[in-house]
Amino acid sequence: MSNSLLERDRRALAGIGKLRTSPLTIRHARGNRLIEEDGREVLDMSATAGAALLGYGHPGIVEATRRGLEECASASAMFGACESAVALAEDLLALVPEADDHKVWFGHSGSDANDTVMRAVTAATGRRRFMSFHGAYHGGLSGSMSVSGHPSQQHALPRGGLVQIPFPNPYRPLGGPDAARHVLDHVDFLFSTAIRPEDVAALFIEPLQSDGGMLVPPRGFLSALADRCRAEGILVVSDEVKVGLGRPGCWHCYQAEGFRPDIVTFGKGLGSGIPVSAIVAPQSVMDVSEAFALITTTGNSVSTSVGRAVLRHIRDDGLVDNAAVRGRQLMDGLVAMQGRHELIGDVRGRGLAIGIELVKDRETKEPATTEAAKVVLRCYQLGVFITYVGMASNVPELTPPLTLTADEASEALAVLDQAIGDVAAGRVSDDEIAAFAGW
């Protein structure tokens, strides 16, 4: 019996918690590189789906973790006021300019943050319906899954009263070239016929729909939609879990899209790999009832100390600007690459959140699903780790750490160029990707 890390992983870890696109093994990691079992280094252009915001082994995160452990590792904010939890809450309130009368709730993941928002706004407003988008991914718990619209979550229990609307995709415009107007007219129609807006508690928005295909909405669409909802007393939730905190080249992705949310949720990158999430929401929602949303270890000193360090390093190390600059470098390189590779149908994104939609034919735009899996695998073989997203699983995605350097961006572009060329030339077989189900 083999005792390799992959074999031990297959025998011991549940498949329901795996999303594998390559035979990657991880012994340890440093900076923006993963070190495999055999010592090979792999440039991580995924950052664990955006979670490793500052890369791996960052001195500031290591120090914050040590400090949190030394102070009171097992304490939480549930039974008493905890210095690091209060301080991180204050930092987040200062970071969200719309948060005049807001408070903060801490969790462990974006899933529990969005799940808690659902329960709290229902209790606070008395409204029981929600709105979200087709293709959305808001988490992996029953509540947050029930307002998602990603194909991977079709096994989730359906939520009664959920209203889902199309996310306007400029590359595949629904209803003609003015997709945004088509969707807004659809919402107006729903509000005047099939749906009583006074029954809807909240609209969940990913300002950049990442898992749905890294879709960038038409300019002004989300602002117009948010205004419509707010006029009906519907709370607007900006899910910044994957695409916020500097990644889009600004602090918050909703800022790039020009709308003002009532509620903001954070996760993934807030802890740069350490589990911590947060809700920033009005007091009327956050104080709806004492002991309403308890998780024993939330607000602990390790997670909240790390969260403070992450925000500090984003600010002090100029990582928002770096995301914008490196994002432009990647986008420019990919657009140039599009001219060489017929497989590339579209390149889109903001900052260091970029999608490369692959198609079999640029005229028909038939999704190149198998080819996307092959490109991801070939990149891994060549020393760069990425994943793919999209409703048809045909969009290789780049969400690297915000600490990405110019040389690393150039390295990633060179590997992508070769990988796409190799796949187009038939150098990656169907058998090679058969073992990796992806999603």
Contact in structure between 373 and 388 (CB atoms under 8 Å): yes
Q: Which of 404, 399, 393, 339 is nearest to 371 (CA)?
A: 393
How high is the pLDDT of residue 137? 72
How high is the pLDDT of residue 72? 79
Same domain (yes/no): 197, 232: yes
CA dist 183 to 158, 178, 336, Å?
A: 23, 9, 32
What's the rounded mean pLDDT across residues 331-342?
98
Which of 316, 346, 368 is the endpoint of a domain? 316
144 has a pLDDT exceeding 90? no
- pLDDT, tens only, 266-297: 999 999 999 999 999 999 999 999 999 988 99
Q: Which of 200, 326, 207 is nearest to 266 (CA)?
A: 207
Same domain (yes/no): 121, 248: yes
Contact in structure between 105 and 281 (CB atoms under 8 Å): yes
Same domain (yes/no): 126, 185: yes
Which pLDDT band holds residue 177 (cuts at 50, 70, 90)?
A: confident
Whether residue 146 is contained in a domain is answered as: yes
Contact in structure between 57 and 29 (CB atoms under 8 Å): yes
Total domain count for the chain?
2
| Beta bridge mates, 56 | 31
Same domain (yes/no): 261, 410: no
Alpha helix positions (H), 126-170: 142-146
Same domain (yes/no): 330, 383: yes
How high is the pLDDT of residue 154? 62
Residues annotated as catalytic (active site), given as ranges: 137
Got the DSSP string for 107-126? Answer: ESSHHHHHHHHHHHHHHHH-
The residues near 81 (Cβ < 8 Å, ≥ 6 apart) are none
**β-pairing verdict for 200-205 and 129-133:** parallel
Q: Tell me, what amino acid is at 39?
A: G
Range of the domain at 331: 5-58+318-433
Give the span between the Cα atoms of 240 and 206, in whole angstroms.
7
The CATH number covering residue 322 comes to: 3.90.1150.10
Whether residue 439 is contained in a domain is answered as: no
Which of 316, 337, 362 is the endpoint of a domain? 316
Same domain (yes/no): 64, 174: yes
Which of 280, 300, 316 is the endpoint of a domain? 316
Same domain (yes/no): 127, 182: yes
Q: Which strand (E) or helix (H) includes residue 307?
A: helix 301-316
- pLDDT, tens only, 30-77: 999 999 999 999 999 999 999 999 999 999 999 999 999 998 766 788
